[in-house]
Chains A and B, each alone.
Chain A
Amino acid sequence: MAKKETLKEFEKVYNATYNDITKYVVCHCKNITDVEDILQNIYCSVYNILLKEKMITKEYMLGIAKHKIKDYYRFCYNEKWMTLFFNKEEQEYNYPSSINIEKSITLKLDTELVWNFLKRKKVIIFQIFYLYYVLELTIKEIASLLHLTESNVKHYLYRTLHELQEIVKKEEI
C-alpha cells in the first residue's frame, strides 16, 4: 500500500477507534502518565499492520491494546506514585453541599496544578475523572467498567473535587 493511502486509512481508523481505545487504556493503565505512551505504541502497531495491507477490526484493535498494555508494564515498575491514605473499604462520605459537579466542569483551573494533583492520587481517581469528564460516561457506566459500586465512584469523585477545591483556594491566597 502506498504511503499516502496508508496514511489516509490510518487516519480513518484512528478517528474511529480513538475514544474506545482510550477508554480501554485508561481503565487498564496503572499510571496516568503511561496512557499517552501506551496509546502511541498501540497506534504504531496499527500503522505497521496497515502497511502490510491487513484488515483491522475493533476486536483486533482491542486485542492489540491488551497486548501493548501487558508489554508496557512487563518491564516497567508498577506505580510511580504511592498514596499514603485512602482505603477501598470506606465509610459513607458526606457530600458537602458546596461541591457542584456542573460548576467544576465550567470552572477554569490551572492545568498543571490539576494534572500534578491527579498524578499524586491513585490511578483509579484519574480513571474516574477521565471517564466522567472527557468521555462523559454516567456514574453507573463508570462503576461497571471499573468494577466498583456507584457509591464508591461518587466517593472518589466528590472527595477528590473537594480536595481540589481546597488546593485551588490555597493557591489563590
Chain B
Amino acid sequence: MANKNTLKQILEEKINKETIYKKVIKKQEKKPRRIEKWILIPICMITLCLFIEKKETKYQANENNNGIEKTEKEENYTNSNGKTYSLQEDTIYIPKESNENMILPFKIQLPKNLVEKKNLILYLQEEIYAYQKIYENDSQSQSIVITIFLDKIKKAEGKTEVIQNREYRIHKSSGSANRSIVQWDYKEQTISMEITNFKEEEIIKILKTIGEEK
C-alpha cells in the first residue's frame, strides 16, 4: 500500500532528523578502539625494517685495491734467454712443454662484480697488457697463465671436484692452431688457464667464453 504524504512530509521522511541522530549514536557505540598515531608509526617502521631484504653480494669485497690481491713479496723468474722477470708470490709455474713455450703466471682475484663480464675483461686486460709488455722482446715467451679466483660462485655451486684439461681451441688468423688448457679447481676455487700464442683480442674471446659458461 502506497504511503501517502505531503511533499514536506516525504522530504522530511527521507532525510529524517531522528534517523540520522540514531545512526550517528549507533556508529559511535560500534566504533573500534583507535590506535594512536604515536604507536602506529613506530610499529610500521619496525615492520618495514624487518622485512627489508639486504642485498647479498656475490663476492666478498677485497679490502685491498678493488679486488686485486697483490703481495709484497715477489719471486723472480728467469726465462730461457736468461731474462729475469719479477713474479708475484704463490704463482703457479707451469714448466715448459715440448714446444718450449715459456709461461709467466700470475694470480689475480676477481673483482666484486664478476657477473659483469665487461669489467672482468677490462680488468684482465690491464694485466694482460702488463705482461705483454714483458714479453715484448721475448719471442719465446708467448703464453700467459691466468689464474682466477672464484669466491662465492663456486661455493654456491657446492662442487668440490676438479675438472681438468678442458680445452678450448681457437684458431688464429694466420692459420696456425693454438690451444688453451683450462683447469677448473673448485676446491681451491681457481681457474687456471694456459693460453699460448694468442693476441689480446683472442684472450678476451676465451675469457668471454668461460664467462658465458658460468
Say yes or no: B11 contacts A133, CB within 8 Å: yes
| Contact (A108, B6) CB under 8 Å given A14-B21, A36-B20, A133-B11 | yes
Which of A39-47, A76-84, A88-96, A143-151 forms contacts with chain B? A39-47
Say yes or no: B6 contacts A106, CB within 8 Å: yes
Residue of B nearest to A115 (CB): B14
Check A104 for interface membership: any CB of B closer than 8 A: yes
**Chain B nearest CB: distance from A8 CB in Å?**
12
What bracket does the count of chain B residues touching chain A fall in? Answer: 20 to 34
Say yes or no: B15 contacts A108, CB within 8 Å: no
Partner of A47, one of B5, B19, B24: B24
- Write out, one digit per residue, whether chain A residues 1-44 have a CB within 8 A of any chain B CB (1) or not (0): 00000010001001000100010001000001001100110011
Say yes or no: A129 contacts B28, CB within 8 Å: no
Check B188 for interface membership: any CB of A closer than 8 A: no
Using Cβ atoms and an 8 Å threshold, which residues of chain B touch A18? Answer: 17
Check A114 for interface membership: any CB of B closer than 8 A: yes
| Contact (A129, B7) CB under 8 Å given A40-B27, A115-B14 | yes
- Write out, one digit per residue, whether chain B residues 96-132 have a CB within 8 A of any chain A CB (1) or not (0): 0000000000000000000000000000000000000
Check A55 for interface membership: any CB of B closer than 8 A: no
Say yes or no: B4 contacts A40, CB within 8 Å: no
Partner of B13, one of A7, A47, A106, A111: A111
- Kindly state the separation between the CA atoms of A22 and B19 in the bound complex, as whole angstroms: 14
Say yes or no: B25 contacts A108, CB within 8 Å: no
**Chain B nearest CB: distance from A69 CB in Å?**
15
| Contact (A111, B10) CB under 8 Å given A22-B15, A39-B15, A40-B27 | yes
Say yes or no: A40 contacts B24, CB within 8 Å: yes
Interface residues of B in 1-46 (CB under 8 A from A): 2-17, 19-21, 23-25, 27-28
Partner of B5, one of A32, A36, A109, A129: A109
Residue of A nearest to B19 (CB): A36
Say yes or no: A110 contacts B2, CB within 8 Å: yes
Say yes or no: A114 contacts B10, CB within 8 Å: yes
Q: Is the interface of B mostly helix, strand, loop or mixed?
A: helix
- Kindly state the separation between the CA atoms of A24 and B140 in the bound complex, as whole angstroms: 100
- Kindly state the separation between the CA atoms of A16 and B42 in the bound complex, as whole angstroms: 42
Check A105 for interface membership: any CB of B closer than 8 A: yes
- Kindly state the separation between the CA atoms of A170 and B10 in the bound complex, as whole angstroms: 20
**Chain A nearest CB: distance from B8 CB in Å?**
4
Say yes or no: A105 contacts B6, CB within 8 Å: yes
- Kindly state the separation between the CA atoms of A113 and B12 in the bound complex, as whole angstroms: 15
15 residue pairs of the A-B complex, CB under 8 angstroms, read A7-B25, A44-B24, A47-B25, A47-B28, A106-B6, A109-B5, A109-B10, A110-B4, A111-B4, A111-B5, A111-B10, A111-B13, A112-B2, A129-B7, A133-B11
Which residues does B use to contact A, with CB under 8 Å? Answer: 2-17, 19-21, 23-25, 27-28
What would 10 more interface pairs be, CB under 8 Å, given A110-B3, A114-B7? A18-B17, A36-B19, A39-B15, A40-B24, A43-B21, A44-B28, A105-B7, A105-B8, A109-B6, A134-B8
Q: Which 8 A-B pairs have the closest CB atoms?
A: A108-B4, A110-B2, A111-B3, A133-B8, A43-B24, A133-B7, A111-B10, A134-B11
